Each structure stands twice: as structure tokens, then as C-alpha cells.
Chains A and B, each alone.
Chain A
């Protein structure tokens, strides 16, 4: 039986109990089927308003939230800060308070500062969903990765998952480390020394060799080289990065024969991942995108539906 989801906000994976994570995954699995219906719309969240507040560029996450909101019949509005009053110097808190005056039920936020959604959660009445905060967490991405892994492998417990690439700047890696270790998977992180943050090594094993990390892996999660966050000097050149840390077919062969390859997107083809790997039969990158909609629907339904007693 489901343990329920006793939270008002979804700010990160770290504070969640394993049973709460499983509730989200089970709900998402149940909702997945709605996307294959002839009429892809259910009245579940009719009359609820969701604001998507994106302080950073996003294609997948934002459109995925928007599709999830529309499928569930919630009213949604998306604010890209490049065309909003943020350009005129409005502070985050003022923007949020003004939006709140319009009585939304939920604010989905992406921000370049770690902890921005937590700040909003302290000052707003609405439910807050973190759609990525700085290099901290990206909970819905980790959830959709877990859902994809569970669908393809039937379980998470005991799976060997290699997470390779720009771990330093990656909120996806952090959320995934929390989620996968909470649910019993074995995670190995691999990055060049300059892109491996101190501290994560206390949670999971780390290595500077991709070959070592992918050895016998059930799944390989590639991380994007976040060129926009790099002030330079992390590695000599993109070509060298590809040679030392790019996922090539040869490296895929070191993994388990039923390995699946994941990437949160957007991909830098020829940098962290070779084109033939991204398009290969073991690639589940597009399943991840579809599961992303299902996971976001689950989060919306669990936070906005039902009246189970919540803790902040």
C-alpha cells in the first residue's frame, strides 16, 4: 500500500523518505497511461493555478511541466524572466509576492541560486516545486531517471549506476545520488579531478577513470558539460574531454550487456557522448523525456490533490 506523500513542497530529494519517493514513482507509473489516451486530458486539477517561474533557460523541464499541467486540466502560466519585470530589477521575493497576490496554488521554479526555492517556500503560501536550483538539486529529473531505470530494469535495488561527467556543476547528479542511494542502487561517480566536487565522495565511490566507472554498469548516466557555468580552465579542450571522458561505443562495451544509456539533456554530441551512442539501441534518452511528463503529473497530483496531513 502506498505510504502517501506528506509534504507541502518538493524542494529536493535529500529530505525525502524512501517510501515517499516510491509513492511518487508508483503514482507516475499509474499516470503514464494517460499520455497514450485518445483524449489526453483528465479533469483532476480543474480550477488549480500553477505558475512556472523560470529564471534560467529550459526547454525540456519547462515544457514537460506545462504538458503535465495541461493534461491534468490545471491552469498554468509560464514566466520566462528574460521577458519579465525581473529585467527591470525586481527582486525574487517581490516577484513571488506579486504572483502570489494572484492566488496560484503552486509555483514551479528554476533559479540559478542554490536554495532559492527553499527561500520561496518560507515566504509563500503556495506549494513550491524545485525545477532546478543552481548546482544543488533537480528532484524531478532524478525521479524521472529512477522511473526509467525501474521500467527498464524492473528494480532499483542493487543496480550499478555510473554517473559520468561534469559532477561539479550538476544538480542532476546530486539529486540522483540521493535518490539512488536511498533506494538501494550502487552509484559510482566519475569526473575529471577539476569537475569532481569535494564531499560527494563521502556518500558514494568516486573515480577519475570513466573506464573503471562503467565496468559492468547496469546503467550509465552521462552529464552535460555545462559550458555556460564554466569560468574556464577545468579541462584543456573539448576534444581532450571527449577522448578522456566521452562515452564511446567502445566504452559502452565494458558495461553490462543490457546496459542502458541515459542523459538528462541537452546533449553535447561529440563531447560527453558520441552521436552513435546517443542514437544507439541501448539509449533510453527519449523514454526519459516521456517519463518526465508522467513524473511531473505525479508531483502535481500528490501536492495539489488530496488533503492528507502535510508537514512543511
Chain B
């Protein structure tokens, strides 16, 4: 399978390559183990799509160090989305699979990118319909900010400062054929060649002019917001 590039976007920066992604996951596994030593009482639940392979990898890493293998499940939050019947595209259902009872256990919810927090809200509601876990922790590979709900992650691979219209894209070998994390930005609108008269009006649209200029300057310069 090849990586998907959303229409109107282009790659701006590679945020993580394969070795860095593995090191990040290894560190996250250690942090999880430090706080939740009883691995066999733990359930790692990945949020579809890319949370699931991440949960499997974290489980394997935990098993290496701790000896026991935690249970791994998958959550399809489509039916709990708050925008299912209002905006959003038509749902694609892949199904939830929780392999054991979550009553009294520690659930670690795993997702690739934490953004508005709405996915996590839906995931929490769905999980609670499956039982009453002792606690739910949240592990994300990338926290890119811009929360719309009072939600924070317990285990974070990397925190990024982003602008709202950028996309943080996590690619995993299980789904996309390669391991890497990319920052995508909007492809600037191609500017039509205009007669002089029209150009005189431009100072009035200060915002768009500025942003186009800023994007033009980016190559070669120190990039802001990518660290």
C-alpha cells in the first residue's frame, strides 16, 4: 500500500523517520511500565486505524521487558462520533474488537495523533459501554495541540506546535508500507497572472498576501512550528 496524500496538501517536513519512531515507542513502553507494572492486567486498546498497530507494537515492547503480554484490542469510534449525522464524510465501519472484559483493569487507549480531543471523547464513551475499567490512560505518538475538550495524554511520543490547517500524518508499515511521521501543509493556490490594474487592489487583502509570502519564503529558511 502506498502512503496517502490528501488533495491540496504537500509534504513540508519529515518529523520522524523509522529509527526515531521505534526509539519513541520504546521510550513510551518504558514510561507505561514505570507507572503500570502489572502488564498482564492491562488492556491496550488502539483507536482505528493507526492506533491499532501502535497498540500491538507497544504490547510487544512491554512483553519484552515485563515478560507478560498485555491484551490488545481495537476500537472503531465511528458510531460514537459527535459529527456522524452532521458534518464528516460517510462512515466506514471496521468494527470494534475488545478481546476480554475490561472490568477492573487498566486500559491504555492508544492513538496516533492527539488533536482536538474529540476522538478520545468518543473512545472513552465507547469503552465505558464495554464495562467499568479501574482506570483509562491515554498514549499518543504525537500531541499536536489545538484541543477542543479538556483532555490530555498520559504518555506522549512527541509534542509538536502546529497550525490548525496543517496535517500530522503518521505512516506505519502495517498500513502504509513505511514507518514515518510527516507534517503536511496546504499547497499554495496557484496565482493567476493578473493585469496591473487588479494588482493594485492587493494591499487590501493583507492577510492572504502575507500568508502566501510566508509560505514562499519557507524553503531554505528555518521553519517555524515544526519543532
Contacts and interface: CB of A to CB of B under 8 A. Distances in A.
Nearest to A5: B90
A158 interface: no
B84 A39 contact: no
B131 interface: yes
Contacts of A80: none
A30 to B, nearest CB: 3
A44 B130 contact: no
A307 B94 contact: no
Contacts of A4: 89-90
Interface stretch (A130-138, A185-193, A264-272, A298-306): A298-306
A134 B88 CA distance: 37
B129 A31 contact: no
A39 B129 contact: yes
B85 A304 contact: yes
Contacts of B87: 307
A118 to B, nearest CB: 23
A140 to B, nearest CB: 17
B15 interface: no
A76 interface: no
Given A41-B129, A44-B79, A305 B97 contact: no
Contacts, number: 79
Contacts of A41: 129
Contact of B92 (A2, A34, A72): A2
B80 A33 contact: no
A72 B85 contact: no
Given A39-B129, A43-B80, A305-B84, A33 B90 contact: no
Nearest to A308: B90
Interface string B75-112: 01011110011111111111111000000000000000
A32 interface: yes
Given A42-B80, A307-B88, 11 more contacts: A2-B90, A26-B92, A31-B93, A39-B129, A42-B129, A43-B125, A44-B84, A301-B84, A306-B89, A306-B90, A307-B86
